[in-house]
Amino acid sequence: MNYRPPNLLGASVSVLLTGSLLHLITRAVSYFLLGDAEKLGLIGEAYLWAVHVAVATCVYLLWFFASVVARKRLLVFLLVYFLVAFCAAWPVGTSLGSGGWVSTQWFAPVIRWAPSVSLGMVAMVAGGLLWRFPGAPLWTSLLLIGGVGLLVAHKKIAPGLYPLAHLAVYLTAAGLLFHGILSLLSRWIERRSPLLTSFLSLALVAISFGGYRIPSNLRIGFENEAPTIEYLLGLIQGRQAIKNLSSLLDDNDPGTKGNGKRDPKQPVEQLSVKPIDNVVLIVIDALRTDALPPNRIRSRSFAKKGDTPFLDGLIARSYQFRRAYSQSSQTRISVPAMFRSLEPYDNPRKSGVSLASEMKSLGRRAVAVVPQYFVISEMHRTRALVDDFDQVLVVDKQAQENLVGLVKQAVSQAKGKPFFAWIHPYSMHAPYYAGRPTTKADGSAVKRYRLALRWLDSEMKRLFAVFEEHGLMDRTAFIVTADHGEWLSNRRTGHGAGVSEIETRVPLFALIPGLPGGRRKPVVGNIDIVPTIVDLLGGTIRSRHQGKSLIPLILDPKTPWNRTYYLRNGNERLNGLVQGDQKLVYHDKTGVFKRFNVGKDKYQRKNLYTGSQSKDRELVKLMLRRNPAVMAADLKQDSALRANLVRQFKTVDGAAVNDRLRYLLRVARVVPTKKILDAAEALFWRAPAVEVKLTIFEMLFSTEEARWRRALSKLARSLKTIEERQTLVTRLSQRTIHEFATPWFREQLKALAKPEEITRWQPWLKVIQPWTKGKRWLPVFQALIRTVKESEPSVETLSLLLTNIGALRHRGRGLKDFVASMFNHGDSLVERAATTAWVRLKPKKGAVLLRRKLSEPNLDLRLQKSLLRGLMVLERTRSIRTLTKAGQDPLLTIHVIRLLIRLRSPKALPFLRGVTVKKNGVYADIRARRAIKWIKKKKKMRKRRK
């Protein structure tokens, strides 16, 4: 064994060289390979170098510890290396494997263990080579080349995303470089110089301490240039606390100037010469704001003048909003928030009303033409977007030219009735589509994006021709936007990592019949689209809408407009607030603030935040008032704030809902101590307005459900008129409420079982939908069924009634016959609810009706899924043949696999193996492999039992 004891002098030199090499390589990659290096200044460069040296020092300490413990025993040396590296990388695997999507996959355990095992093996190899072959040119070169390669990959691949994974790669590269340099200097290690050793040791300590104690104003600048270093410092130093939060409660100005609703006096009749029957919302996935005019000021590498002649002409006739923001840089957050007019931090499953329901309440048939992402997505919030639409037509991402044909089909089937259509072109999303899926053979991402843009323009021309053919252009308003932007640079491609202008700025223009169009300069957002549509169709903008109608701004460009817009990135860690040209960015993990003048600094390179300027304080106040939960860690530690909050609640008169009350309730929701909730409950009973009581209940219900259910039961029984009771229940129907005042609800619903009261049923049925309904509910629903037979309720009311019937624990007379009669209703929503209720009732030979319905042609995709799920529940393994036959449809493949996973029958193996061979997409392939694994596992367990 060529073992040498650790030598402090040689190791100190190796540490300094490793830190310097880490700094030089990362900066060189930024300057020469990526071409957009951040300017940090001399002091910033020095501190960044000090952090690299501190990391190299930690690697040296690992080597020193292993050498001392091993004492010439190679196996112990390698074991120590492996264990330390394994433990250091374990949080990486845990973080990656516990994601919402990854955790449901069969390979989740592999993701959890792979980083730890891989880093441990790399550490063992590097340590073993240094031990066994110190100074060997081949192994030394391999260590150095491996370290440099990992650093380059760390800088170029998905920067800003997966911070723990980047940290693991960076630390691995640092370890390889340190061992390579130590091996290179192995001969010099034997020389000893006490004076030089002492000097270098003290220098290392000082440099490492300087890297740890980096000032916050310099640390902020690392996020773009060295996000991994910034993340590492955040883990070590912790988040930066915000001081004097309590003082923000004393200001009665809520800081939401310009966030009011549309002036109700604004006459809707002024909007156009001709009445508007239809609205078409076109949301183009991943379309940058500077890919189209008016923000495409000059030709760009991804969008040149002349690439979009049709869209250019269309935009010239429309109202163009130059500064429009999406609520998030990722679809799963931005689109649900857009469609319910919610903030990105609101939960769309518990707040607001779906866009389709909103449109149907205004008398419009709701149609969606979307890619299969919205049908097969793992995220419930994206799948739920299409639930309430009357018709959903799915576009295959591999054949996106079919979108226009599907739109033509939807328009024809509307048969002249007013409609709302959501159309979602997907060609601008990676890997980009230009008549076919583009590949690397078509060039860089920038070139492929441009190809997709040119193809999109030709498809939009075909799309609008459909509406012209049907004579709808004079009666249809078009709103075109995007769900987020797209990074297209050497540094990164894609979206979701941040809240930069590139990722969150989107095009937005509206073509309204009878109006000439024009440019509007104020900052607006996609959160304003739904209120604008409601305004266009003559509806009422509700308090649940967080956005504001753009109609006043369209009619008069001088309309006062000073709104602020809240933004979030894909992992919901970065928060942004835009007001005019100022943007505040806050990282809730580290507590770091940044402020940019995005009017002059589009790429957010110059941080203006100091914490002492009045603009900084104003924007921090606005962010806190909009979303106190983002600063929950600081709020919970501020005892003065809690005492001040109790005092503030006592000063509220409760006469009306205002922004100050909402702000106090938001803070109370973050710090729900007993004293604060007592003060809020006292206001609940003191307030004369029912609207105030309901607002308090809605915002604080999740803090202590039992308390607020008791208060609500008492309130419900105290209401005298049917209008007051209807208002209460309508508000309650917008969230999921556990059972309360059950006898009172049964009594009220039975009283409403009259043909003239049928229009009031919907919110009542929605509130009791999740409740457990025993035998006492049976007479209530029998009375409702008798009333339905005498009148014609709305589709939504009928579907809710069927859903509640299916949840009854006791089966009474007439229920099965009523549900069976709904299978031929003709509306997909009702037939889906009937399918669910039928399966829960479990009638004899119930599968016969499901099979008969499934055999009908041109069934709605969502209805097919419900029928297949029902067959699986009623017939179990006997349904496998029908399921596998339906699974040949690519749009049903993943759904069928999910059902087969629940059955876990060996009879499904041929179909599942066929899916893995045909390659129906990565999602289908992954699920099929997981299903095969689970079925084989169950088969083995059966054999063992025998």
Using 50, 70 and 90 to split pLDDT, how confident is the model at 264?
A: very low
pLDDT tens digits for 52-63? 888 888 887 777
Q: Average pLDDT of 822-848?
A: 88
Does residue 494 carry a pLDDT above 60? yes
Name the residue with higher pLDDT: 738 or 887: 887
Name the residue with higher pLDDT: 144 or 208: 144
Q: What is the pLDDT of residue 245?
A: 61
pLDDT tens digits for 841-884? 888 778 899 999 998 888 888 899 999 999 999 998 999 999 99
Least confident of 304-313, 535-544, 748-757, 875-884: 535-544
pLDDT tens digits for 83-138? 877 776 776 666 666 554 555 555 667 767 777 787 778 777 777 776 676 667 77
Instruction: Count CB atoms within 10 A of the CB of residue 860.
Output: 18
**Cα–Cα nearest to 714, from 699, 734, 693, 730:** 693
Q: What is the pLDDT of residue 211?
A: 58
Element (H, E) at 870: helix 861-875
Instruction: Count CB atoms within 10 A of the CB of residue 252.
Output: 10
Helix (H, G, I), strand (E, B) or coil at 519: strand
Helix (H, G, I), strand (E, B) or coil at 284: strand
Beta bridge partners of 487: 494
What is the spatial distance between Cα 765 and Cα 756, in angstroms, rounded to a whole number? 17
Does residue 374 carry a pLDDT above 80? yes
DSSP string, 736-800: -----SHHHHHHHHHHT-SGGGGGGHHHHHHHHTTS-B-GGGHHHHHHHHHHHHHS---HHHHHH
Degrees, nearest 5: CA angle 303-307-311: 105
Q: Average pLDDT of 593-599?
A: 89
pLDDT tens digits for 150-201? 888 877 776 666 677 777 788 888 888 887 887 777 655 555 555 555 556 6
pTM of the model: 0.77
H/E/C letters for each residue in 648-716? HHHHCCCCCCCHHHHHHHHHHHHCCCHHHHHHHHHHHHHCCCHHHHHHHHHHHHHHCHHHHHHHHHHHH
Topology annotation, domain 278-572: Alkaline Phosphatase, subunit A (3.40.720)
Does residue 316 carry a pLDDT above 70? yes
Using 50, 70 and 90 to split pLDDT, how confident is the model at 267?
A: very low
> What tokens appear for 707 in the block?
């308390």
Name the residue with higher pLDDT: 454 or 735: 454
What is the spatial distance between Cα 939 and Cα 917, in angstroms, rounded to a whole number? 22
Least confident of 333-337, 607-611, 631-635: 631-635
What is the spatial distance between Cα 342 and Cα 336, in angstroms, rounded to a whole number? 8
Degrees, nearest 5: CA angle 740-742-748: 120
Is the CB of residue 279 less than 8 Å from the CB of residue 537?
A: yes
Beta bridge partners of 518: 319
What is the spatial distance between Cα 830 and Cα 822, in angstroms, rounded to a whole number? 7
pLDDT tens digits for 440-453? 888 888 899 999 99
Does residue 739 carry a pLDDT above 90? no
Using 50, 70 and 90 to split pLDDT, how confident is the model at 1?
A: very low
Does residue 2 carry a pLDDT above 60? no
Using 50, 70 and 90 to split pLDDT, how confident is the model at 366?
A: very high
Domain boundaries, the chain: 9-89, 112-212, 278-572, 638-766, 780-877, 885-945
Mean pLDDT of all residues belonging to the chain:
81
Which residue type sits at 292? Answer: L
Q: What is the pLDDT of residue 261?
A: 40
Q: What is the pLDDT of residue 194?
A: 59
Using 50, 70 and 90 to split pLDDT, how confident is the model at 799?
A: very high
Q: Is the dihedral of CA 900, 901, 907, 908 positive or negative?
A: positive
Using 50, 70 and 90 to split pLDDT, how confident is the model at 533?
A: very high
For the chain, give the number of residues.
Answer: 946
Q: What is the pLDDT of residue 253?
A: 41
Q: What is the pLDDT of residue 597?
A: 92
- What are the φ/ψ torsions at residue 850 (nearest 5 degrees)? -65, -45
Q: Which residues touch 445 (CB under 8 Å, ≥6 apart)?
A: 430, 432, 488, 493
Q: What is the pLDDT of residue 269?
A: 38
Share of the chain above pLDDT 90, in %: 27
> What tokens appear for 350 in the block?
């518990």
What is the spatial distance between Cα 130 and Cα 4, in angstroms, rounded to a whole number? 10
Least confident of 91-105, 368-382, 646-660, 805-819: 91-105
Least confident of 11-15, 280-284, 566-570, 912-916: 11-15
Does residue 584 carry a pLDDT above 90? yes
Using 50, 70 and 90 to split pLDDT, how confident is the model at 255?
A: very low
* Residue bearing tokens 């226009």: 404
Using 50, 70 and 90 to split pLDDT, how confident is the model at 241?
A: low
Q: What is the pLDDT of residue 488?
A: 83
Cis ω on the peptide bond leading into residue 910 (within 30° of 0)?
no
Instruction: Count CB atoms within 10 A of the CB of residue 203.
Output: 14
